[in-house]
Amino acid sequence: MLTDAHCRNAKPKDVLYRLNDSMGLYLEIKPNGVKAWRYRFKLSGKESLFALGDYPSVGLSEAREKCAEARKLVKQGISPVQNRQLEQIKREQDNLNTFEAIAREWISIKDWAEITKVRRTDMLERVVFPSIGKLPVRQITSAHILDILNKTLKRGAPSVAAEAKRTMSAIFDLAASTLRADVNPVWPVRNALPPNKTQHKSALSSQEIGKLLADFNTHGGNFQTIKAFQLMWLTLARPNEVVGVRWSELDLDNATWKIPAERMKARREHILPIPTQAVHLLRAMHPITGHTNFVFPNRDDRKRCMSYASFRGALKKLGWATKFSPHATRTSGSTRLNEMGYRADIIEAQLAHAEPNSVRRTYNHATYFAERAEMMQTWADLIDKWSQEHSS
């Protein structure tokens, strides 16, 4: 059997020669001075060689350990040469299957409105990808997940942390179901964070609506954010419908906004009457963003719409974040319009709430448009009045 001194002192000769160890292991000394470990084995009656590395990078004891591992494979009828090739392919595939790649695949197959996909992608790009986006999914541990959640929570964003946890868990489920991950690392830390105590905000009173709009209109923030926020209140459209509005959806001459089915929660086209104030607002925006697809394009990428997070950032700056959520706009509008005596059918039609009866839904859509236009003009006049009462 070989000793380390044998290996160290072996000198190259004019021809290749070998120093045998035991059980098929030997050190091959080449004329150029390279010393290479080899394991000779026989499988299915055929003799083969398996490279174990070069000496002294791989010492004698390590070579014997590698040889023992290869010998175990041979006993199982597995060629260590082919096994190494398969392991290499697997590593290459794992390197391609990064968290970000699978996350984008997961988003692409979701039956969501485009604005929802954009919003979820924005969250991943801000919160998750910087930490684990480039890592192969098999290398991501529960410690990585907990670190992301804790950092997000410490920033004072429990709702974002909860959304990140749900999203990461769904992405790992996809990876596991397609055999690209062995486990879902979110599961062990699913209860590590305190429950998200975010509550649905109640409807604002007319005085509160006026104060909110007055504060927002004068808070000194981004002009585009202010106008998008105003449009949301003037139409009572959903926040994601507002930030994603395209110029192609608008007919300002006829004061209508046609939201395509793919952008609607119920996956049905919705036509909104636009009050005069909203028409003026949109005409004022046209010289600024009319050359883009979106009325409110993203600041950094004009091919995308603005981020819904812009509303939340402005509300936090104004001190309204704990009192009001953008989704509460519709609750507030519905409550106040009901108090004003408008029929529930008209209000529900304006809010695009699902009508289970398809015949009745079509009838309502056609019949109530004029009444909705009149109602929304009255609403726009009222919120103008309420905000002016609180303007300095």
Whose structure tokens read 């004698």? Answer: 60
- Say whether 227 is catalytic: no
Residue 219's φ and ψ, nearest 5 degrees, are -75, -5
Task: Please tell me which residue in 40, 84, 190, 265 is annotated as part of the active site.
Answer: 265
**Contact of 341 with 371, CB cutoff 8 Å:** no
Task: Please tell me which residue in 84, 120, 268, 327 is annotated as part of the active site.
Answer: 327
Count how many Cα atoms sit within 13 Å of the Cα of residue 357 in the half-sphere of its side chain: 5
- Say whether 330 is catalytic: yes
3-state secondary structure the chain: CCCHHHHHHCCCCCCCEEEECCCCEEEEECCCCCEEEEEEEEECCEEEEEEEEEECCCCHHHHHHHHHHHHHHHHCCCCHHHHHHHHHHHHHHHHHCEHHHHHHHHHHCCCCCHHHHHHHHHHHHHHHHHHHCCCEHHHCCHHHHHHHHHHHHHCCCHHHHHHHHHHHHHHHHHHHHCCCCCCCCCHHHCCCCCCCCCCCCCCCCHHHHHHHHHHHHCCCCCHHHHHHHHHHHHHCCCHHHHHCCEHHHEECCCCEEEECHHHCCCCCCEEEECCHHHHHHHHHHHHHHCCCCECCECCCCCCCECCCHHHHHHHHHHCCCCCCCCCHHHHHHHHHHHHCCCCHHHHHHHHCCCCCCHHHHHHHHHHCHHHHHHHHHHHHHHHHHHHHHCCC
- Say whether 280 is catalytic: no
- Say whether 270 is catalytic: no
Burial class for 140, CB neighbours closer than 10 Å (0-12, 13-18, 19+)? buried
Task: Please tell me which residue in 72, 283, 317, 363 is annotated as part of the active site.
Answer: 363
- Say whether 304 is catalytic: no
- Say whether 363 is catalytic: yes
- Count CB neighbours of 113 within 10 A: 21
Q: How far apart are CA 234 and CA 328, in angstroms?
A: 14
Task: Please tell me which residue in 66, 138, 165, 238 is annotated as part of the active site.
Answer: 238
Burial class for 209, CB neighbours closer than 10 Å (0-12, 13-18, 19+)? buried
Task: Please tell me which residue in 138, 165, 180, 330 is annotated as part of the active site.
Answer: 330
Residues identified as active-site: 238, 265, 327, 330, 353, 363
